[in-house]
Amino acid sequence: YAVLGAGFAGLSVAWNLLQLSFKESDVCVDIYDEVGIGGGASGVAGGLLHPYTPKAKIQWHGAECWKESLNLLNIAEAALLKESQSSSSIIRRRN
């Protein structure tokens, strides 16, 4: 699979493709982005991750989406920590 964009949406698509694929299927996901991970709009969208509307009311499915967003951030942080402690990682930068 090829995912265009390494912002919140693109990385979420890539992660879910890998999670929903069969382990023995040998799925490969390549992520393409001109400016790198979080280098575009997602990198400056400080208020994007919250469960509220502009009128401070909870969004439809806001709490559920907030929980899933935090879960993905925790997974990403754990993967980065694991990568820094190991020389063999499934996370690799391609040129």
- Domain extents in the chain: 1-45, 49-88
Look at the block and give the residue holding tokens 């001109």: 34
Which contiguous run of DSSP H or E holds residue 4? strand 2-4
The string of pLDDT tens digits covering residues 64-91 is 888 888 888 788 778 777 766 665 555 5
How many other CB atoms are there within 10 angstroms of residue 47's CB atom? 7
Query: What would the pLDDT profile of 23-70 be if each residue is shown by its tens digit?
Result: 778 888 999 999 888 888 887 766 666 777 778 788 888 888 888 888
State if pTM tops 0.75: no
How many H helices and E strands in the chain? 2, 2
